[in-house]
Structure 1
Amino acid sequence: MSLQVVILAAGMGSRLGRSLPKPLTELNDGRSIMRQQLDNINEAFGPSVPVTAVVGYRSEEIVDRFPEMSFVYNEQYDQTNTSKSLLRALKASGKGGVLWMNGDVVFDPIILTRAASIIARDQSMVTVNTSSVSDEEVKYTVTAEGFINELSKTVRRGALGEAVGINFISSRDKAALIHHLGRVRNDDYFERGLELAIEHDRVLLEPMDISDLYAVEVDFAEDLERANLFV
């Protein structure tokens, strides 16, 4: 199977209070968040796997820093959310499934090693953390068969944990997700497109539990402090 990887890096990241694009935030080990992600991708899948970043805010700084990557531009980065950035990337992708991640997640490289077996089956999946259920995070529930049912910040009852922001859409499910990402509002997160694909196209999303590993979405300064405890 032909794997492609997408990093969503178009946003302004204003909550972190820094002028640089958030993926360029430096960690304690001297790497940027995006460099840590690329190192993890290369470790799990090899250096030849194609990686595309969706850029917008101060895009030239990311482009200059990572000449080995391909880029898709979201010129409306200040008016749209991750749903429209992912839509642009999926439309630009070739045949095969796509692994994507938010550009502000600092994570254990073992996560991608664990995901590789699911990707090899061409099975759509969402990584989840069952040890935490915060009102501010994307939460999930599952069906009786164990596949994702609800996936949003507004899940109110029966939430089993949080979505981590690292996901895979299979080759057979990609067209359905593209369709529904085109339907959602500009301010929707990509999880809304996944929910619609589940509801209308019966897309099966397998939750992959990474509660024993670290994954920190860096939104605020305290998140960055926590991420630096692991790298």
Structure 2
Amino acid sequence: MTTQVVILAAGMGSRLGRSLPKPLTQLSDGRSIMQQQFDNIRHAFGNDAKVTIVVGYKLDHIIEAFPDASYVFNEQYDQTNTSKSLLRALAASAPGGVLWMNGDVVFDPTALDRAAAMIKRDQSFVTVNTAKVSDEEVKYTTSAEGYIRELSKTVVGGLGEAVGINYVSRDDKAKLQRQLARVDDQDYFERGIELAIEQDSMLVEPVDISDLYAVEVDFAEDLERANLFV
């Protein structure tokens, strides 16, 4: 079965202070952040994975770098957040579940091996790091049954941080789309997940990858840390 993968890469990434879209930032091994993601996707799912990139800011540079990918356009990239980029991608997807990731995450390829096991079960999930809980990151709590209960930057008493690699199952996709359409333009996609859990009883498992590296590159110090691993 073909695995559908979405990379969210429409934003301006202004905090890193680069002229190109952030996913094209070069790592110390010569690859871009997005090339590292593509390599990880091929490692876990082979060449049959269907990769769709959501683009907006300076999209021509990304299309030129990855001409074989499929593309979805967020023409309101400067007015909306990841909730609306993901909504566009899910609306354009084929039937079945969708794995997605933020376009600025540098991560251990083994993370997608763990994801593949969950995808085979068609179980919605969010990858998490329980080793640290920073105030500025998206945090989570769980229910008594072990499923995600809260998922936002304002969570109090978070058990860990969301890493930015997630999956929505075939049966949950319509629920998530409906909630993503409802949230504010500036909301992150995690708000849509949180509402689908709360209002539609969507079951989302946390997948712990704390023993693996995963760095969301927002600032220069994040890039320095990512370069220690690649």
TM-score range, shorter chain: over 0.9
In the other structure, the counterpart of 2:192 is: 193
How many residue pairs match? The answer is: 230
Counterpart contact for 1:2–1:97, Cα < 8 Å: no
Q: Distance between the aligned counterparts of 1:88 and 1:33, measured in 2?
A: 22
Counterparts of 1:3 and 1:206, CA distance in 2: 19
Q: Distance in 2 between matches of 1:128 and 1:144?
A: 18
Secondary structure in 1 aligned to 2:48?
coil
Question: Does the 8 Å contact 1:123/1:205 carry over to 2?
Answer: yes
Aligned to 1:230: 229
| Superposed structure 1 runs of 4+ greater than 4 Å apart | none
Aligned to 1:65: 65
Q: Is the 8 A contact 2:3 2:48 kept in 1?
A: no
Matches within 5 A, 1:57-206: 57-156=57-156, 158-206=157-205
Q: How does 1:208-227 map to 2 (within 5 A)?
A: 208-227=207-226
Alignment TM-score, normalising by the size of structure 2? 0.99
Residues 2 and 96, structure 1, Cα contact 8 Å, conserved in 2: no
CA distance in 2, matches of 1:50, 1:32: 19
Match of 2:35 in 1: 35
Report if the CA contact (8 A) 2:2-2:48 is conserved: no
User: Residue 166 of structure 1 aligns to which amino acid in structure 2?
Assistant: I
| SS of aligned partner of 1:78 | coil
Normalising by the residue count of structure 1, what TM-score does the alignment of the two structures yield? Answer: 0.99
Partner Cα distance (1:2, 1:29) in 2: 29
**How far off is 1:48 after superposition?**
1.4
Return 5+ residue gaps in structure 1 as ranges. none
Could you say what secondary structure the match of 2:31 adopts?
Answer: coil
Aligned match of 2:24: 24
Amino acid at match of 2:160: G
| Distance in 1 (alpha carbons) for counterparts of 2:29 and 2:227 | 8
Query: Percent identity of the aligned residues?
Result: 74
